[in-house]
Amino acid sequence: MDRESFRGSRRSDRDPVGTAWAAMRRTGQATVRQRLLRLRLSVLVAVQCGVAAALAWWVAKDLINNPQPLFAPAVAVGTIASSVNQRFRRTLLLIAGVAVGITLGDLLVSWLGQGYVQIGVVVAVSILFAVFLSGEGSFITQVGGSAMVIAVLFPASSHVALPRFVDGVVGGAVGVLVAVVVLPLNPVYRIRRAGRPLLNQTATQLERVADAARRRDADLAKQVLDTLRHLDTSDVETAMSAAVEVVQISPLRWHHRSSVEGWQRGARLMMRSLLQNRDVALNLERAIRADEPVPQPLAEAAQCLADAVRYVGTGRGLSTGGPTRSQRAAMSALRLAQAALSSGLRVSGINVANDVTIIAVNTIRAGGVSKRDAESLRRSLAPDTAGEPTDRRHEPERGHREPDPPMPPSLGDSG
């Protein structure tokens, strides 16, 4: 971690209120387009919750003859809405939380009676007991909520606990059934939809890096660095976890297993590249402030890299049809980075060129190219770049650019 990142993290630790307020401002500034995209991503989950709630109520009320099946739809919705990954484990925690909560609530109400003070005592004791049993947030929440419902809505009775536990089991089973059998999400579509905004935001920041290099604007490079540090990757990580889970347990989605594995590899590479993009902005800022040379090919390499990142998710799989638009742009970035090195750079400029090369190689690999082929292409197009971290501060050998070699036979995927 560089010193600036460390100082930034220490400032955040000292000012948690300021950090929270900044996060709220970023949330409030989300565009209508981003909100609509989030809405589209949540449509299927909302439909799953509605179907699961109705089905759980019907099963508990009409098939099991529970006149007040409150917990069944609640647990069904909780299973789907809060368990997009590790669904079975979280469902078991939800059911266990219901069981513990209603048992504790029933016992405490029978001992303490009902009233304002009793409600507070029941909830507090139930949460403390849940924390003692497990530190899982979903379990603790369900224990406290179930105990509160018992304390508020139901009189002390020996006939309350078992029906509520059965409701919890019914709700969890229905939630899993709806999520993995009746209406399973499309795992590949989910990953692509979740990853597209992050790729677009990253590409936009790389375009700003290119502008900063052209204009020798250190302040703009610093702004890009700050923006990249705050990009949120949680949607992509959640979508990947959910996709893996779906193809493992849903018979309707088993045929997507190989595709999801490929998308997983590509997503990991692009997440790694996101961290590398921060180094690009940081080293460019240092180069400009130190009055180092920033040649035109370096700016153009960043621009080509932006195009490569923006279009990396448009297709997958190897074919004989040649490279995709993303891969062609990444290869151009490799060539331009090598041209910049050949023009003579100093320490920070060399690091920028090396960072660009590493990101370009990762982008080519994310499009379905093997590591061996991508590295072979990198060595052919940019033999002096992308060295190990211990070598990155060495001055490159100067020389004339070599003619562009042919691509490896297996490189490329259908665009």
**Could you tell me the residue range of the domain that residue 266 belongs to?**
196-391
pLDDT on residue 182: 75
The answer as to whether 135 is a domain residue is yes
- Burial zone of 216 (CB within 10 Å; 0-12 exposed, 13-18 middle, 19+ buried): middle
End-to-end CA distance of the chain: 37
Spatial distance between the Cα atoms of 116 and 118, rounded to a whole number of angstroms? 5
pLDDT over 70, % of the chain: 75
Domains: count for the chain: 2
Of 44 and 7, the structure prediction assigns the larger pLDDT to: 44
Query: What letter represents residue 134's amino acid?
Result: S
Convert 367-413 into a string of H (helix), E (strand) and C (coil).
CCCCHHHHHHHHHHHCCCCCCCHHHCCCCCCCCCCCCCCCCCCCCCE
Lowest mean pLDDT among 44-53, 104-113, 300-309: 104-113
Q: Are residues 237 and 159 in the same domain?
A: no
Spatial distance between the Cα atoms of 60 and 92, rounded to a whole number of angstroms? 18
**Taking the complete model, does pTM exceed 0.85, yes or no?**
no
Q: What is the pLDDT of residues 286-331, one digit of tens each?
A: 999 999 999 999 999 999 999 999 988 665 433 445 678 888 899 9
User: By three-state DSSP, how is residue 318 classified?
Assistant: strand
The answer as to whether 20 is a domain residue is no
Q: Which distant-in-sequence residues (6+ apart) come within 8 Å of 139 by Cβ?
A: 93, 94, 96, 97, 130, 133
Spatial distance between the Cα atoms of 31 and 36, rounded to a whole number of angstroms? 9
Mean pLDDT, residues 344-351 taken together: 91
Look over the chain and give the mean of its residue pLDDT values, rounded to a whole number: 77
Q: Are residues 169 and 221 in the same domain?
A: no
Spatial distance between the Cα atoms of 55 and 157, rounded to a whole number of angstroms? 27
Q: Are residues 300 and 340 in the same domain?
A: yes
Q: Are residues 343 and 256 in the same domain?
A: yes
Closest to 175 in 3D by CA, of 248, 282, 84, 61: 84
Which of the four pLDDT bands, split at 50, 70 and 90, describes residue 3? very low
Q: Are residues 69 and 176 in the same domain?
A: yes
Which of the four pLDDT bands, split at 50, 70 and 90, describes residue 207? very high
pLDDT on residue 222: 95
Lowest mean pLDDT among 197-206, 290-299, 370-379: 370-379
